[in-house]
């Protein structure tokens, strides 16, 4: 009797990655349809961290909303409150004292460095074998981040959710001690950041795991509304601090790092270069911060409730993850009629379903980490 090989199609293997998985950087579920080690199709599931912050804001007075928003992108809290407050100030034609604007940017740039250090440190863990098993890089980055949090505490009294920004100005000022600590921080961080940049840009394992992996074309970035280091890593020269300057960014000299290939390597290098540019901005702030008041409004206890004129308004800022925008509809009362947040993490993350098919499982972790999503920012 002739032996026959019976072929049977078992279909693809569906592998759930998350929602509780260290490499998803938050509560995010990817359903990977596999053929061997290669990904054929991807389904993504969001919403595990949804807090309904946009709906909540419809029941709060405008001055009550900024601290609530600082919990969205929890790696850069100040960006959230800054974007919202800029929108309200534009709606109400509220002028900001120059000193207050400088202080806002000081905190924002310190948190940009802090956020990028978290991105780099956790990326070392994602890559596993890179840089001494990844743990060394993680611990070094978090050590430097602690130094930044110490300075934030000396300025605002809190290490993380600073509650620095308020409509019309800021709550806290620099003093001799916090100014000295900030100068010392810059002197400490600059050689460290340069060292880490040199290490990762020349590390053979890091290069092999990231170069040519997760290439995002300019067209794909535009199609999904990508921004920040994800867009700049693909060669798109767009940064709101330059292209649509807000606050006092026009007063400072700094460069916008741009990638060439749009791969995971370029996105990581762009973030590292950005930390050095942020240090340049902080130096200039300390050198030429003007004297003057911290706010153009009365203290909140005696101030009248804000009631922007009827209409809609949109304004955005450059968070560490990209364009963070606020679309607010006012009905003339002290609470927003409607608020919609344009979250950069959401737009950047939406690329994964196009990006992962055809890659290996191990590369999925590398690609996802290179997008640097924050799921408070995604789900809101």
pLDDT in tens, the chain (380 residues): 444 444 444 357 888 887 777 777 778 888 888 888 888 888 888 888 898 899 999 999 998 999 999 888 888 899 999 999 999 999 999 999 999 999 999 999 999 999 999 988 888 887 875 554 557 788 888 899 999 999 999 999 888 888 899 998 999 889 899 999 999 999 999 999 988 888 888 888 888 888 888 899 999 999 898 888 999 999 999 999 999 988 899 999 999 999 899 899 999 999 999 999 999 999 999 999 999 888 887 776 655 788 889 999 999 999 999 999 999 999 989 999 999 999 999 999 888 888 988 888 888 888 888 898 888 888 88
To the nearest whole percent, how much of the chain has pLDDT over 70? 94
Structural contact between residues 60 and 68, judged by C-beta atoms closer than 8 angstroms: yes
Q: Which of 378, 349, 144, 104 is nearest to 249 (CA)?
A: 104
What is the helix (H) or strand (E) element at residue 311, kind and residue range?
strand 311-319
The Cα 123–Cα 116 span in angstroms is 10
280-298 b/e (C-beta count within 10 Å ≥ 16 → b): bbbebbeeebeeeebbebe
- Match 């019309």 to its residue by tokens: 168
Structural contact between residues 234 and 371, judged by C-beta atoms closer than 8 angstroms: no
What are the chain's domains?
52-379 (1.10.645.10)
Q: Which of 276, 339, 335, 299 is nearest to 83 (CA)?
A: 339
Q: Name the pTM for this structure.
A: 0.90
Tokens (6 digits) for 209? 């795991």
Residue 150: other Cβ atoms inside 10 A: 12
At 7 the pLDDT is: 42
The Cα 303–Cα 378 span in angstroms is 34
The Cα 235–Cα 270 span in angstroms is 10
- The sign of the dihedral angle between the CA atoms of 167, 172, 174, 178 is negative
């Amino acid at each position: 009797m002739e032996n026959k090989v019976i072929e049977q199609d078992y279909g693809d293997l569906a592998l759930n990655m998350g929602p509780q998985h260290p490499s998803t950087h938050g509560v995010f579920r990817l359903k990977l349809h596999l053929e061997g080690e290669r990904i054929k199709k991807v389904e993504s599931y969001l919403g595990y961290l949804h807090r309904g912050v946009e709906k909540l804001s419809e029941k709060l007075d405008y001055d009550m909303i900024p601290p609530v928003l600082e919990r969205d992108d929890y790696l850069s809290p100040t960006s959230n409150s800054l974007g919202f407050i800029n929108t309200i100030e534009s709606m109400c034609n509220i002028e900001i004292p120059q000193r207050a604007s400088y202080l806002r940017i000081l905190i924002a740039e310190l948190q940009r460095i802090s956020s990028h250090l978290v991105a780099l440190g956790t990326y070392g863990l994602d890559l596993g074998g890179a840089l001494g098993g990844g743990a060394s890089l993680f611990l070094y980055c978090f050590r430097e981040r602690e130094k930044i949090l110490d300075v934030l505490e000396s300025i605002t009294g809190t290490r993380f959710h600073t509650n620095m920004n308020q409509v019309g100005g800021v709550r806290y000022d620099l003093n001799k001690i916090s100014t000295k600590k900030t100068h010392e921080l810059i002197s400490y961080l600059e050689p460290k950041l340069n060292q880490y940049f040199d290490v990762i840009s020349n590390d053979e394992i890091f290069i092999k795991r990231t170069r040519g992996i997760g290439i995002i074309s300019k067209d794909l970035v535009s199609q999904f509304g990508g921004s920040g280091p994800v867009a700049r890593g693909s060669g798109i020269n767009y940064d709101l601090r330059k292209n649509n300057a807000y606050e006092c960014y026009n007063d400072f000299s700094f460069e916008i790092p741009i990638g060439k290939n749009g791969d995971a390597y370029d996105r990581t290098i762009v973030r590292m270069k950005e930390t050095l540019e942020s240090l340049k901005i902080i130096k200039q702030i300390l050198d030429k911060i003007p004297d003057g008041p911290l706010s153009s409004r009365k203290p909140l206890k005696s101030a009248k409730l804000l009631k922007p004129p009827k209409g809609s308004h949109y304004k955005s800022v450059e968070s560490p993850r990209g364009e963070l925008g606020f679309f607010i509809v006012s009905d003339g009362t002290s609470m927003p009629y409607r608020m919609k947040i344009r979250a950069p993490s959401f737009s950047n993350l939406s690329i994964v379903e196009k990006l992962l098919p055809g890659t290996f499982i191990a590369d999925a972790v590398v690609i996802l980490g290179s997008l640097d999503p924050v799921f408070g920012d995604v789900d809101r």
